[in-house]
Structure 1
Amino acid sequence: MPLPKDEFEQLYPCDFYTAEELLESGQMYTVYEIARMLQELEPDAELEPETEDVLLDWAIPWIMTNADDLVVAEPRGEDEPGYYGLNE
């Protein structure tokens, strides 16, 4: 259910990194690593599964929004995710 804005102590601008600001040139990242980096965490930070699920809710739309600036690589194995990097 929607809430009135005045029920929140503070509101922040909805500002996301661009692909070039977030990703290093020449590197490929999983969606899990991107999710962490969007929250200014290290790509290999340990997270509780519930926290990782919430971060993925941010990362997946970010990848879709920045798709023109990204390249994709197939997973290296059946049990691994795909990889994303800058489209240079």
Structure 2
Amino acid sequence: MPVAKDEFDDLRPLSFRDPAEVLDEDKLYTIYEISRLLQGLDADADLDGETEAILLDWAIPWMLTNSEEFVFAEPRTDDEPGYYGVDV
């Protein structure tokens, strides 16, 4: 349900950083690690499942919007996620 803007004290513009500002060009990351880095956390920060899901809600559209700036590698094993990095 929509909420009135005046219910919030702090409204800020929505802006996303470029992938090269977030990721090291010499490394590949999982989507989970990228979602943490986008929020200024360590890539290996320990998060509960609910928080991780919220961070993924931000990371996935960001990656799709910037898809031309990414490369990816298939998972090394079946139980591992894929890896993404900056296309340099």
TM range (shorter): over 0.9
TM-score using structure 2 length: 0.96
Match in the other structure for 2:48: 48
Q: Which residue in the other structure is 2:4 paired with? A: 4
Q: Following TM superposition, by how much is the alpha carbon of 1:26 offset from its aligned partner in structure 2, in angstroms?
A: 1.1
Question: Match for 2:59: what amino acid?
Answer: A
In the alignment, residue 15 of structure 1 is paired with which amino acid?
S
TM-score (norm 1): 0.96
Partner of 1:25: 25
Amino acid at match of 1:61: P
Distance 1:38 1:13 in 2: 16
CA distance in 2 between counterparts of 1:6 and 1:82 reads 42
Alignment correspondent of 1:70: 70
Partner SS for 1:72? strand
- Shift of the alpha carbon at 1:66? 0.8
**SS at the partner of 1:16?**
coil
Q: CA deviation at 1:87?
A: 0.7
Q: Identity, % of aligned pairs?
A: 55
Give the letter aligned to residue 32 of structure 1.
Y
Deviation at 1:38, TM superposition (A): 0.6
